[in-house]
A and B are shown apart, each in its own frame.
Chain A
């Protein structure tokens, strides 16, 4: 039973990014493999057999391996930054990220369905126009973005993230 609806607001732990001007939008499609699921699970220490053993996943009613809850970041984070090494800054970030140091700010996630191995996931990233504000440690640039992850035309995960540039 999932009572979350795709058009209601989720919990708000940070600056809103709704209503901000969309800077750009890009959509890519990724086919999720069993190896993708297992590797992400290993990387975060997720040892539930449904992430590693197809029979265990099937016993729980799934067709294939179930991706860990936060697996979607492995599909979303590479978007727009899969560039040649020569396009990386000294700190390793892609030049497309803009200037300045960057740290994580806030993230809101809503889950509607599980992502499983075999799914073809359409990943859309919308970058919103950055805004500038004054923080305790000086001027901060706020970089909001919205990611949607869809399978068969239905949004399965939505993520609203805010990065902070110093």
Chain B
């Protein structure tokens, strides 16, 4: 897992992270969420539904995004207040996924900065997830 941070300014990258969920990640997430849907842990079955490989579950993708935001906010002494995501195309087992949050708006009030960020998850050749998040960060 790689991570980098940039300055908090509208239009700039807030935080990004690279992940590569593999078979064991998909299995563990299915188990921890009691999700018996075979497209997430049974490669042969997933192919019967026309997928090239097992799918990374939507909540798994959202959990990875939320954790990236949460880790970033906590490192600044802030917190994540909201997140909304839309799943646009599948993400498959062992694909490299690039997660990113880009500041769309930042407003300072009473020592806190309310940051709104656009979210994306990209795979090699597709846009997997788009969304938005709201964070409260202390003003340095």
Residues of A with Cβ closer than 8 Å to B? 1-4, 10-14, 39-40, 42-46, 48, 50, 68-70, 73-74, 77-78, 81-82, 88, 91-94, 101-111
In the complex, chain B residues whose CB is within 8 Å of the CB of A11:
82-84, 116, 131-134
Contact A46 B67 (CB under 8 A): yes
Interface residue range, chain B: 35 or more
Q: B28 contacts which chain A residues (CB < 8 A)? A: 42-43
How many Å lie between the Cα of A107 and that of B119 in the bound state? Answer: 13
Q: Is there contact, CB below 8 Å, between B84 and A44?
A: no
In the assembled complex, which residues on chain B have CB atoms less than 8 Å from the CB atom of A46? 67, 71
Name B60's closest neighbour in chain A (CB-CB).
A44
Is the beta-carbon distance between B70 and A68 smaller than 8 angstroms? yes
Complex partner residue of A107 from B29, B35, B58, B67, CB under 8 angstroms: B58
With a CB–CB cut-off of 8 A, which chain A residues contact B84? 10-14, 106-109
A11-B134, A78-B33, A103-B87 are known contacts. Are A69 and B69 too (CB-CB below 8 A)? yes
B81 within 8 A of A: yes
Which 4 residue pairs are nearest across A and B when measured between Cβ atoms?
Answer: A104-B58, A13-B84, A70-B63, A78-B34
Q: How far is the CB of A100 from chain B (nearest CB, A)?
A: 11
| A110, B59: Cα distance in complex, Å | 15
Report chain B residues within 8 Å CB of A106.
84-87
Residues of B within 8 A of A69 (CB): 63, 66-67, 69-70, 80
Q: Are B130 and A13 in contact (CB under 8 A)?
A: yes
- Beyond A1-B112, A3-B136, A109-B82, whether A70 also contacts B38 by CB under 8 A is no
Chain B nearest CB, measured from A73 CB (Å): 5
Question: Once the chains bind, are B37 and A43 in contact (CB under 8 Å)?
Answer: no
Contact B66 A77 (CB under 8 A): no
Please tell me if the beta carbons of A92 and B59 are within 8 angstroms of each other in the complex.
no
Instruction: List B contacts of A107 (CB < 8 A).
Output: 58-59, 62, 83-85
Give the nearest-CB partner of B67 in chain A. Answer: A46
Q: With A45-B19, A91-B45 known to touch, is A104 a contact of B57 (CB < 8 Å)?
A: yes
Contacts A13-B131, A91-B45, A104-B57; A43 near B85 (Cβ below 8 A): no
